[in-house]
Amino acid sequence: MEENLLQTIRDPHRRRTKLERILEAVPASLVWFTFFAAIYFSFTHPAWAAVYIIIFDTYWVLKAINTTLHLLSSYNHYGHDLKINWFEVLPQLGNKEKYLNDLRAELKTAPFRYREIIKNEIERIGKANLSLNYEDIYHVILFPFVNESVELLRASLNGILNSNYRKDRVVILLAAEERAGEAAQTTAKCLQNEFTRYFKAFLVSTHPDGLPGEIRGKSANASYAAEQALKPYLLQEGIAFENVIISNLDSDTNIHGDYLARVSYEWLLAKNPHRRSYQPITLYNNNMWDSPALVRVIAVANSFWQFMESSRPDRLRTFSSHSMSFKTLVEVGYWKKDVVNEDSCIFWQCYFYFDGKYYTQPIFIPVSMDTCLADTYKQTLINQYKQKRRWAYNVEYFPWLAKNLLGNRKIGLWHRLYKFWQYIEGNYNWATASIVIASMGFLPSFLGNNFVGTVFGYNLPYATKLMMNIALIFLIFSVYINMVLLPPRPKRYKWTRTAAMYAQWALVPLISIIWGSIPAIEAQTRVALGKYMEFWVTPKARHQENLKVQHSNLNQTSSMKS
C-alpha cells in the first residue's frame, strides 16, 4: 500500500480536503435524494414513484427470505458448537488421523441438521497443517474502561475466570482513562489485587488525556494500553507476538466458557491465523429481562444481524468485542486513535494493509453484553438512540475507505467493487429501508392527483401491504429463536414478563424507524454537514442480582433448548 492511501483519518476537528468533504457527503446525499425523489415523483410522476416503491418492497421481501435462511443456518451452527467442550478438543488436534476418525464416527449418528457442519469440519481438518501447538497460545483480554463500576468489571473478569481455558495462558489488561480521575485508579487497583493470582498476569494502564492526534474514545485507550503496557510486558517475558491472541472487549462483556478455546481451535486450523479476526456471536443477556420492550427488540435485532452476517463470511466484519492476532495489530499500527467506531475500522485497516487478504472468522460461541439500560425509562430510550447513532457513525471513515477500496489495485477489481457496494448498500438501507417500506408506499396515492383513481393507484397500497405481510411471516422464526436464546426468567418476574417477550415484536415497525433509520440519517447528515461527533460512552445499569449470576445464565442459555 502507498503511504497516501494508508493515511490516518485524524481527529474530527482537522481541516478536510475538498475531495474528502465531497466523499463525506455521499452517504447522506443518497439518503436524502431518495426521500426527496420519492416525494417529488409522487407529485409529478406517481406511476414512476409507484414502480420504484414496488421494486424496493419486492427487494426487501426477497431479502427477508434470504436473511431468515441465513439466520437459521447460523443458529444451527451455533447449536452444534455449543454442544462441544472445545478445550477438550484442542489436544486432540495433535493426533489428526484419530480426530478425523472420531468425526467420521460422529457423522454417522449425528442429527441431520448437523451433518453438513461435520462434513465441512472433516474437510477443513483434512486440509489443515496443524503445525502449531495450542499450549503455545496466549490470550490477552483487554478491557478499556472509563467510569464503569468495580462490580460490573468484576462480573466480566469472573466470566473469564470461570471459563475452561488455562488461566496461566491468560493475561488481563485493564485500560483506565486518566480523565476518569482517582475513582478509575481505585477500581483498577482493587481488581488487580483481587484477580492477579488467578492469571498469567494482570496489567493496568492509564491512558493520558489530550494526546495529540486522538479523540476521547475507546480506540485511543485500547491502542495506548496495547502499545505501552502489553508490548513491553511480552518483550520482557519473551513471549512471541505471533503466539498472542488479543481480545478487545467492552467492559460489560461476559464470555462463554468455551470462547477462548473455540478461538484457539480456529487459530490452529487457519492457514494463516494472523490474517483473520475472530468474531463471536453477541447476545445482550446480561440484563435482558430488566430492559423495556423497545430496548429488548433492538438488542435482539442486533444479535440476529450478527447471526445472519456470520453465515456469510464474505460480508462479516468485526463488531464490538472480538479477537485478533497481536502480531497483526502491531503491524497495522494498533487501532486508529481518531475514530469513534474502531471495532469495524480495524478490519478495514488489516484488509488494506494485507491487500485484501484478510478475513473475519465467525465464532459460533456467544459473548453476552448489556442492553442499553439506564436508571429511568426516558433516559433508557435517549441512550439507546445515542448508541444507535454512534454505531451508524461508521460513515466517518467513508472517504478513507473509498480511497483505499478504489485506489488499491493489488486487490482484485471485483472484490473492491463488491466491498464498496456492501458498505454503501448497508448504510443506505439502514437509513432508508424502514421509512420507505412503512410510509412511502402510500405517497403516490395521496400526492399523485388522480393517480388513486387508476387501477394501478388503487391497488398500490394493497400490493405493498401484501408484500410486507409476507415479509412479516418470517418474523415467526425470529420470535422462536429469541425465546430459545434468552436466559431463564429471574424469579422476581412473573409469567407476564415472558408473555411480553412475545408481544414486544409488534413494536418492530415503530422501532425500526425511530431507533433505526432516524439515528442513521442523523449520523450520516452530521458527517455531510461537517458536524462531527466524538465517542459517547454508553452508561451501564444492571440489576444487582445480574452481577452475580450472569455467567451461569450465559451457559444455561448456551445449553440450547433445541
- Asked whether the beta carbons of 303 and 281 are under 8 A apart, the reply is yes
Residues forming beta bridges with residue 254, ordered by sequence position:
368
Domain assignment present for residue 445? The answer is yes
What residues make up the domain containing 121? 84-125
Answer whether 0.75 is exceeded by the pTM: yes
Q: How high is the pLDDT of residue 65?
A: 87
Q: How high is the pLDDT of residue 92?
A: 94
Q: How high is the pLDDT of residue 131?
A: 83
Identify whether residues 173 and 41 lie together within a single domain.
Answer: no
Q: How high is the pLDDT of residue 4?
A: 39
| Mean pLDDT of each 10-residue bin along the chain, 562 residues long | 40 72 95 92 84 85 88 95 96 93 94 94 91 93 94 95 96 95 95 97 95 87 96 97 97 96 96 96 93 92 92 90 97 90 89 95 96 90 93 91 90 93 94 85 70 69 76 79 88 90 88 94 94 79 58 51 42
Overall number of domains in the chain: 3
Q: How high is the pLDDT of residue 508?
A: 87
Identify whether residues 95 and 131 lie together within a single domain.
Answer: no
Cβ neighbour number for residue 488 with a 10 Å cutoff:
11
> According to the 3-state scheme, what is the secondary structure of 234-250?
HHHHCCCHHHEEEEECC
Identify whether residues 114 and 261 lie together within a single domain.
Answer: no
Cβ neighbour number for residue 526 with a 10 Å cutoff:
19
Tens digits of per-residue pLDDT, 102-122? 999 999 999 999 999 999 999
Q: How high is the pLDDT of residue 10?
A: 45
Identify whether residues 368 and 259 lie together within a single domain.
Answer: yes
Question: CATH number, domain at 374?
Answer: 3.90.550.10
Q: How high is the pLDDT of residue 115?
A: 94
Identify whether residues 330 and 195 lie together within a single domain.
Answer: yes
Domain assignment present for residue 559? The answer is no
Q: 3-state SS of the chain: helix, strand, coil percent to 5?
A: 65, 10, 25
Identify whether residues 318 and 375 lie together within a single domain.
Answer: yes
Q: How high is the pLDDT of residue 458?
A: 65
> 370: phi > 0 → left, psi -120 to 50 → alpha, else beta; which?
beta
- Asked whether the beta carbons of 187 and 251 are under 8 A apart, the reply is no
Identify whether residues 279 and 237 lie together within a single domain.
Answer: yes
Which helix (H) or strand (E) segment holds residue 8: the answer is none
Identify whether residues 529 and 453 lie together within a single domain.
Answer: yes
Identify whether residues 227 and 206 lie together within a single domain.
Answer: yes
How many whole angstroms separate alpha carbon 552 and alpha carbon 485?
14
Domain assignment present for residue 134? The answer is yes
Buried b (16+ CB within 10 A) or exposed e, 327-350: bbbbebebbbbbbbbbbbbbbbbb
Domain assignment present for residue 320? The answer is yes
Identify whether residues 172 and 121 lie together within a single domain.
Answer: no
How does strand 359-368 pair with strand 254-255?
antiparallel
Q: How high is the pLDDT of residue 2?
A: 37
Domain assignment present for residue 560? The answer is no
Phi and psi at residue 533, in whole multiples of 5°? -100, 160
Identify whether residues 163 and 292 lie together within a single domain.
Answer: yes
Of 388, 416, 436, the position where a domain reaches its end is 388
Q: How high is the pLDDT of residue 438?
A: 79
Cα-to-chain-centroid distance, residue 232: 30
Identify whether residues 209 and 101 lie together within a single domain.
Answer: no
Domain assignment present for residue 511? The answer is yes
Of 342, 372, 388, the position where a domain reaches its end is 388
Q: How high is the pLDDT of residue 3?
A: 37
Cα-to-chain-centroid distance, residue 255: 15
Domain assignment present for residue 500? The answer is yes
